[in-house]
Chains A and B, each alone.
Chain A
């Protein structure tokens, strides 16, 4: 499988603070990759760097064979920010149709994306009147229009009820089976097991980059939360003893 995202020695500073300390990772195409870490660990900064809206200090990011943020990628990368970035004073359908129009697509594509996230019944409602979970699904629908080759989703399942969350993950895997790459951030560890591959980030450093099965084996536990805890402890011990 070709590589969808290649990050090399990425350093990002926001203000005087260094947020990412030389992250390198490689994300295979056609997979669902989870980006996990506590809030404030640098997940959103890494995601913003990958979609090309973050000023980076050093390092390189290659997305689908192009430098991150290249004009050609604007048609092939779908991005959902953490706060639902849709227009609260438009209906779900009007939002979707506007984003469809940006990609040169019609209302049929927009309506399909709305149905795909389970909002067909709420399509005529103003986004401002929706619940938080519905709002973030409206935002997700706008990113799925135009069948992007890479979908970058910053915490898309926050506030969703368990049934809908399961539906969304099934949808993510359907998309991946058709060749789409998904990078999904989450701070909920129980979502980690649903990913093909996991990146664990903590205080701006990458602590693990592997499949869930390999992470369980390395840490010698079946519980992913416990496994992460052990990996973090190991990592911190190594840091203390200079090689």
Chain B
């Protein structure tokens, strides 16, 4: 692995993004629009809106970056750029971390816009700091990137790649505690929720919502999500083969 090549890859991916104005617009605007929708659904600001909007600030970057990354990586495979890159001095982790950093930065811009809109325009209130919400949102985006990189190895076409959203993302959404608190679910569902990383991200956000200072539980959850992202990146590296049939 080389820092120089990783950074060059990060810059390359950000440049690709910069040429795609419409994607940038969608990345920045869509979460704000969806939060506004929630605001009106829950009859303006209030405790229910606070709880759900806070969780959504963590879920949007996860879902969006998972989709964006799985398509971007699939394109590297199908256009032959991946095969070519693997004949150059680029290491597998240079490519994967390049994606992680580039889309992590994009997610940071997205999270700042969404969090600013949620607190200032929509009156979201949390006891903890909004900076921690941004931090957790970026970490969730990196988790989405890592899972997207891994899943793209199992798709041959864009149609297949998109199908991984219901397989990988939706069960995590259902079980993360947004719809039914994890403690109220049947034991086997709780066990399933306990091994899914998004559950920890949602719990960390709830901690920020309820406590003025970062809690031990929040940092533990944060570490679990970061660990899951690293495991997914290492698994993704294992799916990148220099030699193919």
Contact = CB atoms under 8 A, between A and B. Distances in A.
A14 interface: yes
A90 B85 CA distance: 16
A90 B244 contact: no
Q: Which of A80, A82, A98 has the most CB of B within 10 A?
A: A98
B15 interface: yes
A81 B83 contact: yes
B16 A90 contact: yes
A54 interface: yes
Interface residues of B, number: 25
Given A14-B245, A104-B4, A85 B90 contact: no
Nearest to B89: A74
B90 A69 contact: no
Interface string B59-88: 000000000000000000001110111111
B162 interface: no
Interface residues of A, number: 32
B89 A51 contact: no
Nearest to B78: A83
B89 A89 contact: no
A209 interface: no
Interface string A83-125: 1111111100010001101111000000000000000000000
Nearest to A145: B88
Contact of A87 (B81, B89, B244): B81
Contacts of A82: 80
Contact of A101 (B4, B80, B243): B4
A74 B85 CA distance: 10
Contacts of B79: 83, 85, 87-88
Contacts of B12: 87, 90, 94, 98
Contacts of A77: 87
A200 to B, nearest CB: 26
Nearest to A98: B12
Interface of A: 14-15, 51-55, 69, 74-75, 77, 79-90, 94, 98-99, 101-104, 126, 142
Q: Which 9 A-B residue pairs are closest in the complex by CB-CB distance?
A: A85-B80, A101-B8, A98-B12, A81-B80, A85-B84, A102-B88, A89-B16, A79-B87, A85-B81
